[in-house]
Structure formats: C-alpha cells, structure tokens
Structure 1
Amino acid sequence: MANKNNNHNSQWQAATQVIHAGAVHDDPHGALVSPLYQTSTFTFDSSAQGSARFAGEADGYIYSRLGNPTVTELERRVAALEGLPAAAATATGMGAVSAAMLAFLRHGDHVVISEAIYGCSFALFSELFTRFGISVDFVDMTDANNVAQAVKENTKLVFLETPANPHLKVVDIAAVKKAIAGRDIRMVVDNTFLTPLYQQPALFGADIVIHSATKYLNGHGDVVAGVICGSEDDIALIKSTTLKDMGATMSPHDAWLILRGLKTLDVRMQRHCENALFVADFLRNHDSVERLFFPGCSDHAGQKLMQGDNPQMRSAGAVIGFELKGDEATARAFLDKLQLITLAVSLGDAETLIQHPASMTHSPYTPEARAKAGISDTLVRISVGLEAADDIIDDLQQALAGK
C-alpha cells in the first residue's frame, strides 16, 4: 500500500505546506508518519544492480552518506517551501555553508561577503578561504552599491544573511542581485532567521538558499543540521562533490526529527513572532536599553522590505538585539541575573535563549571586525521563545532592575 504523492502545490497556504509540501513516502503498512530509514547501507539485488547504481545508470540508494529515503523526503519538503527545485541536507548549518560555497570555488577566485554574519561563517571566509587562495571582501550590503564596487573579474559568489546575525541588519536581496546582474556570480542567502514562511530569497534573485535547520525548522533544540536549496544542477554538483567527499551529510534520525518539527513550523513561528513584538515593545521603552535592533520597530530599515504587494519579508521574525547602557560588565551582570530565560547560544527553540555575541557566537571576529560590523561589547541577542510573553518580560524586568 502506497501513500499518496503529495507534490508541492504553490496554491497551498503556509500552514498546509509545512505539513504536506514535498511529502512522498511509500509504506507497505500505510503508516501516516514517514518511516525512519535508520540504516548505513542498502542491499543490492545483484552485483549488476550495485554497479549500475554506482555508475548513476539506475535509481536506488547505496549508502546513507550518498543518500537516504528519510533525508530525501526532508530535502523535498524544504525545497518546496523555498520554491526551489532541489535541496541537499547537511550535518550542520556550517556544513551547509561550507559545502555550498566550496562547490563553486577554486584557488584564485574571489567572493564578496556581508560584513554582518554568524561568527563561524566569518571565520570560514576570513581564515580558511584565504589559506586556500580564495580572496574575500567583507562589505556593508545594506547599500547594494558597495557590492557593485567590490565585485571583480574573478568574483564567483556573493554571500549574505538577512536579517543578519546578531543585530538584525537587513539586506535588499533584489538590489544586490541587480548589482551583480550580467555577471556569472551566484548569490547565496542564509535564510535561517525568517524561515521560508516569512521570506523566500529565490523570489528576489537568490540562486542558493541556506538554512541552519538546527534552528526554527527543527525547533526543539535536539538536532544540529543544515539544508541547501537551489537548482537541480547546483544541488547535484554540491551533493556529488563537496558534500559527498567532505562527509557533512545529515543522519537519517536527524532528518526524521526535523520532518516532525516542520509540521508545527507555522504555528510555532506565529507564537515566536507574536511574543517578539511584546518583548521588543518592552525593551524599546526601558531606560536601561541604549539601542534596540528589531525589524518590527517603525524606525528599522526592515520596514521598507515588509511593505508592498510582494514584500521580501513577511514578518519581523523573533530574534532581537539590544545594547545596554554601560559596559561589557553591565551586560554580563544582566545576563547572570536572568532566571527564566536561558543563557545559551542558538535560536528558534521553544525556550527563550539569550547570549552575548561579542564573547560567544561572534568571538571569532577580531575586535576591529566586530567594530566594523557594529557588534558592541554591550550588545545582547535574544531569541524569543514560546513561553507566555508576560513571563519573559517579567524576567527581563527583574534582571534589568537597577541597571
């Protein structure tokens, strides 16, 4: 007995897509939930079949590093949500960044990177890339002219996050695409913070879209994983080269957990974002807060990307950055006073998480690079969770008391 083939339907609303888009599985017992294929290898009916699969002349699975039915279903689902033809699942979010970028680069190439990105992405580009003869320029992409000016004859890739980690700078994806128009340059966009529900970078010109599936796609804090979405040809190249040979492939059990998490993505994101609006309103009016970074604020540059009939951003998201009045010691004292809110890196979990970027997620930045990117010693980043908003705010209030 085979379950129906739930191919992507572009007319479905988001709440339906996260449950049904891309879902294809065959189970002889008619299981509603997709089976978990927890196996490292797959058997062949004959030596000829095995040889044909290795040669790419016959369909079928060989070894879970090269492909697994559970992982394949997750790839189909996320690709459908992003509106792209194909996807590759990876062991971590950084596995996705590394595999996607290195598949298209070689010694002597040049890349243009947003100056505001996740700390480990910054380390990858600024340290590892340069070791292998790939030149890198970090620019402020909030002005697309900076991208146009940074592009060289040997530029192969442009990479950006929007909203950016950790202070929620936003980038006009269509403007960056226009800045590199007419050149053989791929644009890679990390869409982790908004998810495909609230931003689909491919609609605005992105060639490759990356997610740390550790975050909202999974949503339960029990998986580290990544996903790369793109064209059939680009994903096939990534899978057959860097992903296969570097070995940063996703385990089937992790894929199964993320498939489970995806089903509640829409309802979770609604609560995350609703809570974030309440928390941002509280922080905006608190005397101890020097500056608030949140696209939901009326004076944030993200507002212009949330307007019109086809806005790039359909929500402000649920990550907030804010600078406290005082110095680094002030910020640390505040963090250490929190009781409900969890002091931990990452984001997108049911729990509200808070951290100090300068000494934690963005510690790979040099002090000079942090200053250029606007990551101050008093900057705090909070990922607003699913608890009652009043309880989150009460905890912030007591920790800020006397600051």
Structure 2
Amino acid sequence: MSPSDQPLHFQTRSVHIGVDKDPSYKSATTPIYPTSTFRWDDCQTNAGYDYTRSGNPTRAALEENIASLEGGVSCRATCTGMSAITTTMHLFEPGDHIIAGHDIYGGTYRLFADVFTKMGLKFSFVNMGDPANIRAAATPETKCIWIETPSNPLLNIVDIKAVTDIAKDLGVITIADNTFLSPALQRPFEHGVDIVIHSTTKYLNGHSDVVGGCVVSKTEEHGEKIAYIVNALGLGNSPFDAWLVLRGVKTLAPRMKAHQESAMALARFLADHPKVEKVYYPGLESHPGHELAKRQQDGFGAMMSFDVAGDGEYAQKVLSNTKLFQLAESLGGVESLVEYPELMSHASMTAAARKEAGISEKTIRVSVGIEHPDDLIADMKSALES
C-alpha cells in the first residue's frame, strides 16, 4: 500500500484537504476567487459555479476541509457563527420545540429566546448535566436537542452519547456547537450527533482576524437542506474570509497543543491562589465533568472561567489590570483574552437566567492563547494581587 492509499491523520488533513485546486499554475495554497459571478459557456453549461452567494471555489475548499476534519458528508461555511445557528433554526417550523442547555452562549440564548421565539419556535432551557432533565422537558412538539459542550462560560460537560440516545428514543435530531474544542479535540458525530456547528471565528481560524461560521451535516439529506437555506437566506461566507479560515485551520492541531499546555498550567495556578474561589476547567481533577471529558474529548481545551474570592468590583479590577490578557470578547485566537460574562458575552441573558446558569458578578472567562505559560501566570498573578 502506498502512502497515498493510507488514511491521513488529522493534522495532515487539516493542511492538505481543500488546497490543491489550481490545475493551471499548481499553486501551493488555495486561490481566492473574489468574483461575484461566473461566466457560462452557454445557457445550459457552466463550470460548476454561477454566483458566489450560491457557491464559490474558495468557500467550497474550506467546506471540504472542515467536513473532513469533523467526519461529516458536507459542510456549508457561513458569514458568522450566529448565521450558522440561524441556518439550523430554519430546519424547523412554527410550533416546533427545541431543548437547549441553560448555560449556553449568551448570543445563542438571545437568538433563541428573543428572536426565534417570536417566529413561533418554542425553547426549553434545562440543566443538561443530568440527561433526565431532557426527557422531562420533552413534548410531542420537540424536534431538536441543542448541545453545547463544554458550555459557555462555565465549562460544564454534557454527555453527548447519553443525549443522542435520548434523541433517538424521542425521534428528534441533535445539533452540537463544537466551537470551544474544535474537531481537533472533539468530534460529536462519533457520539451520534446529526449536525455540528462552529463559529469559525474562533479556533478553526485561530488568529482573531475574521468572522465566520459553518454547519456540518452527517447525512446528505441534512446537507441538502442546509445548502438550500444558506443560499436562500444569503448566509454564505465571503471568499476572502473563507481563505483566511482555510489558512488558519492548517495550524489547528499544533495550536491546540500549545493552547492546552498554557491552559492547564494557568488552571492549576488559579486553583491554588487564595484570591480565587473556584476554577471551571475540565482538565482539573476536581472538575465534576473531568472523567466524562476524558472519555468523549481528545483534550481539555483552552477555555476556562473562574470566580474571584471577592465581589464584582474586585473582578472588574482584575480584568482591568492584566497586561498580556486582553480585555475583549471572542475566544480561540493565539492571543489570550479575558472577559466579564456579566456585562459582556452573556449580558443578553436575563439576570435570572444568568443566576440559574451559575454565572455571577464574580465570574471571569479566559481564552488562553499560545503564549508561554510562565508569562501568563505572572500576568494573572500581578492582576489578582495588584
């Protein structure tokens, strides 16, 4: 068997899938096709593309790459992570019921509770740490279970296989947001999920210089529906943004190793610091989801949160006193970020919803970059003690 006949490892596929698209000049990188439209040979024949909203070679290359990494049959790249979620919600009709976690990303919560509720969809937000809560929330109108694991921002771990088993019993589909870990560390299809979404802004791109999303399907049926919705709603990723993500994803595997090394060191430091009340990081043995994370993930990721041993005023002072950790929303870039869920990423949730999820004025969320862990620890120590 020649090397080309052997299944390629993840990091090799991230570098090579979707790249060799230039038969004319043999470009080593995927070309950018910024055109809005494409010439036809005649009224019946074109080269596979007619209008960039409907399809573009650069975007298709990225979609091929991500589908391979997640293990899906197709992918559609969208203009933002929120548009990826919006795409999936158009699989449902007024009156349909969707079950989601009570501690999901604030933007997702807002989209569900404030936007799609007005369009006739119904949502239940439950503690998905106990799968029994999902069964209890199910109704005859339930059509989907929305999975976010690890959760944002408290890094709770949802048993994906347990949820997909329940979904099969109920005859509903499952959609998983895999943004926090990326396919380098978790592949929900392997645990029975039907559709996977990402904010490609985050780890897939990895450089904080683009916004985008994607929807990956396990079956051709879902893939065709998703493709139709993205085209009909005009949600496709721009060619240049797709090219940036395709460039970024090439280093996904080594980046995630560096991210995790620094994250584990920082988490252990925070767990022992007297001015930190609690650390939310599945890599710590004290985390209630540690063993589950070990079973369904290939690593613990680089997202964490912690509660300061003080009030909200102290938490905000810590956030303002970091030097290497930039005070900014978003996550997954090579630089480390800190943010305040109470007023930033989860401000769109009601105060009651934040309290129910366990988010308090003491909570700080951290996206650990690829800087040297000693430097990050020194910076955080200075911020906590200044």
- TM-score, structure 2 normalization: 0.96
Question: Mapping of 1:218-367 within 5 angstroms?
Answer: 218-230=205-217, 231-241=219-229, 243-307=230-294, 311-367=295-351
What is the Cα deviation at residue 215 of structure 1? Answer: 0.4
Q: Deviations over 1:342-386 (max 9, x none)?
A: 000111111100000111000010000001111111100010111
3-state SS, counterpart of residue 216 of structure 2: strand
C-alpha distance in structure 2 between counterparts of 1:302 and 1:215, whole Å = 23
- TM-score, structure 1 normalization: 0.92
C-alpha distance in structure 2 between counterparts of 1:61 and 1:22, whole Å = 16
C-alpha contact (below 8 Å) 2:148/2:177 kept by paired residues = yes
Aligned to 1:17: 13
Q: Deviations over 1:316-358 (max 9, x none)?
A: 1001100001111111111111122100011111110000011
Aligned to 1:208: 195
Percent identity (aligned): 41
- Structure 1 unmatched ranges of 5 or more: 1-5, 51-58
Q: CA RMSD in A?
A: 1.6
* Alignment-mate amino acid for residue 28 of structure 1: S
Which residue, 345, 369, 372 being the options, matches 2:353?
A: 369
C-alpha distance in structure 1 between counterparts of 2:94 and 2:6, whole Å = 40
2:156 aligned with 1:147: no
C-alpha distance in structure 1 between counterparts of 2:243 and 2:144, whole Å = 32
C-alpha contact (below 8 Å) 2:20/2:29 kept by paired residues = no
* Alignment-mate amino acid for residue 276 of structure 2: V
What is the Cα deviation at residue 132 of structure 1? Answer: 1.2
C-alpha spacing 1:88/1:105, structure 2 compared with 1 (3 Å): same
* Alignment-mate amino acid for residue 321 of structure 2: K
* Alignment-mate amino acid for residue 94 of structure 2: H
Aligned to 2:89: 101
Aligned to 1:176: 163
Aligned to 1:68: 56
3-state SS, counterpart of residue 71 of structure 1: helix
Q: Deviations over 1:106-157 (max 9, x none)?
A: 1111111111111110001111121011111001111111111111111111
Aligned to 1:31: 27
Aligned to 1:3: none
What is the Cα deviation at residue 248 of structure 1? Answer: 1.6
- Structure 2 unmatched ranges of 5 or more: none
C-alpha contact (below 8 Å) 1:294/1:320 kept by paired residues = yes
What is the Cα deviation at residue 10 of structure 1? Answer: 8.2
Question: Mapping of 1:153-164 within 5 angstroms?
Answer: 153-164=140-151
3-state SS, counterpart of residue 296 of structure 2: coil
3-state SS, counterpart of residue 145 of structure 2: strand
C-alpha contact (below 8 Å) 1:79/1:86 kept by paired residues = yes
Which residue, 47, 51, 60 being the options, matches 2:43?
A: 47
C-alpha contact (below 8 Å) 2:20/2:28 kept by paired residues = no
